[in-house]
Amino acid sequence: MSRERVKVGVIGCGNISGIYFKMMREVYGNILDVTACADLDESRARARAAENPGVRAVSVRELLEDPDIRIVVNLTVPKAHGEVALKAVSAGKCVYNEKPLTVDLSEARQLLAEADARGLLIGGAPDTFMGGGLQTCRKLLDDGAIGRPVAATAFMMCHGHESWHPDPEFYYEKGGGPVFDMGPYYLTALVAMLGPARRVCGSAGITFPTRTITSEKKRGKVIRVETPTHVTGAIEFVSGATATVVMSFDVWAHNHPCLEIYGTEGSMQLPDPNGFGGEVRIRKAGDAEWKSVPLTHTADINRGTGVADMALSLLRPGRPHRASGRLCFHVLEIMHALHESSEKGAHVRLRSSVDMPRPVPPGLPPGVLDD
Ligand SMILES: NC(=O)c1ccc[n+]([C@@H]2O[C@H](COP(=O)([O-])OP(=O)(O)OC[C@H]3O[C@@H](n4cnc5c(N)ncnc54)[C@H](O)[C@@H]3O)[C@@H](O)[C@H]2O)c1
């Protein structure tokens, strides 16, 4: 712990916050110093503080007024992401948001502009593309293992979350649905492998206008569906590669792999992008079967990796961070474009672009992100 660490405050102490606290303290404790946490529900903040010695439970206002905190990790619900992040930026903090960056594009645009004007960094989930599974895929692509990528498929299909989630209503509100909920993992992985997208077309629909909760506590409650729950689309990348995507809460079962990339000299099967490890498989032209490829990067990391990477960029100004606000914004624009194209009946050309995030060097131990 010899060098300077970056002080972090967490806003939103719900379900996903546990793994963030664990990783930020145990794996990235030499970069990050988590000092405070807050939640609208004070008992949740107190519970996290009690589990994590050295962390104080405070109000959101107190956290934002703490001059020592440089990064706010915003783990609130999607519809609060924009408002909480804008307040943090106004208070002079860099912000790392859970996905999606915000619900509305205009809010995300404002967030990036205000942060730029103040010289602050914005970052956001997912950071799973920095894990051993997807970094191995990126290295294989960079090494030419399957030639030039020409196409990809991304399938995320299930039957929604009302059978297990205790409060599933938000999945069927604006900003919910399969694209905004799970799309960030798949689309960020595609942009990290294939580069920025150029245009998008989509077809989106609501198969079931209502959903009946079957999980406990709210069993029997009927939810009105306000957002498309089955979205099919095509994404054209600047490189010329195209991706077929299907994101659905309307499918009971399927047999498609999560993600595949097809190159001029072979095909690659990627692991589930909602994780940091998983199996990578390759089948080159002429091969009789798929071969499993050993991971070249550590998979012993988890959420919080993107926060540590952003903190390193504060300690070493000029160093680009990987899970950047610009990457999140580009993915958010793709997600909106899938819906907008369906409404308009035409391709939607994207206005934003982003550099591919720098690959993580192979062979580094957990907690280390640069050579
Ligand atoms: N639960 C998961 O498995 C999971 C996985 C990956 C990403 N995420 C993302 O993480 C985020 C949080 O998800 P979660 O499952 O932890 O939700 P959650 O509902 O369990 O927790 C969210 C917390 O934020 C608090 N909150 C809401 N608005 C707030 C505000 N304005 N100020 C302060 N606190 C506020 C709530 O009181 C709650 O405690 C979401 O964006 C979700 O998409 C969740």
Taking 70 as the threshold, does the pLDDT of residue 156 lie above it?
A: yes
Residues 6+ apart with CB under 8 A from 234: 200, 201, 202, 242, 243, 244, 245
Residues 270 and 134: their CA atoms lie apart, in Å, by 7
Residue 175 pLDDT class (50, 70, 90 cuts): confident
Residue nearest (by alpha carbon) to ligand 1 atom 31: 80
Question: Which residue, chain included where needed, has tokens 């580069």?
Answer: 195
Residues 361 and 89: their CA atoms lie apart, in Å, by 31
- The dihedral over CA atoms of 323, 114, 339, 239, expressed in degrees to the nearest 10, equals -50
Span 59-86, pLDDT tens digits: 999 999 999 999 999 999 999 999 999 9
CB 220 within 8 A of CB 357: no
Measuring CA to CA, how many Å separate 59 from each of 72, 179, 242? 13, 32, 46
Give the pLDDT mean for 283-294: 98
CB 320 within 8 A of CB 181: no
3-state secondary structure of 186: helix
Residue 367 CA, ligand 1 centroid: distance in Å = 25
Measuring CA to CA, how many Å separate 149 from each of 128, 138, 241, 243, 269? 21, 11, 6, 10, 13
Residues 6+ apart with CB under 8 A from 369: 130, 305, 308, 309, 312, 360
CB 242 within 8 A of CB 262: no
Taking 80 as the threshold, does the pLDDT of residue 188 lie above it?
A: yes
Residues 265 and 333: their CA atoms lie apart, in Å, by 31
Report the atom number in ligand 1 closest to the C-alpha of 100.
41
Residue 20 CA, ligand 1 centroid: distance in Å = 12
Residue nearest (by alpha carbon) to ligand 1 atom 9: 98
Residues 262 and 106: their CA atoms lie apart, in Å, by 35
What is the pLDDT, as a whole number, of residue 11? Answer: 98
Instruction: Supply the mean pLDDT for the chain.
Output: 97
Q: Which amino acid is at 6?
A: V
User: Token pair for residue 311?
Assistant: 């903190």
Residues 6+ apart with CB under 8 A from 145: 263, 265, 266, 268, 282, 284
Partner residues linked to 127 by β-bridges: none
CB 361 within 8 A of CB 370: yes
Residue nearest (by alpha carbon) to ligand 1 atom 15: 15
Within 6 Å (CB) of ligand 1, which residues are found?
11-17, 39-41, 44, 60, 75-78, 80, 84, 98-99
Taking 50 as the threshold, does the pLDDT of residue 347 lie above it?
A: yes
Residue 81 CA, ligand 1 centroid: distance in Å = 9
Report the atom number in ligand 1 closest to the C-alpha of 76.
24
Residues 53 and 293: their CA atoms lie apart, in Å, by 40
Residues 6+ apart with CB under 8 A from 306: 96, 123, 124, 125, 126, 127, 130, 321, 322, 323
Best of 10, 11, 16 for a ligand 1 pocket test (most atoms within 8 Å of beta carbon) = 16
Residue 241 CA, ligand 1 centroid: distance in Å = 35
Question: Which residue, chain included where needed, has tokens 């408002």?
Answer: 83
Residue 11 CA, ligand 1 centroid: distance in Å = 9
N residues, the chain? 371
Give the pLDDT mean for 101-109: 97
Taking 70 as the threshold, does the pLDDT of residue 2 lie above it?
A: no
What is the pLDDT, as a whole number, of residue 167? Answer: 84
What is the pLDDT, as a whole number, of residue 170? Answer: 86
CB 262 within 8 A of CB 145: no
Residue 264 CA, ligand 1 centroid: distance in Å = 42
Span 310-330, pLDDT tens digits: 999 999 999 999 999 999 999
What is the pLDDT, as a whole number, of residue 232? Answer: 98
CB 352 within 8 A of CB 329: yes
Residue 1 pLDDT class (50, 70, 90 cuts): very low
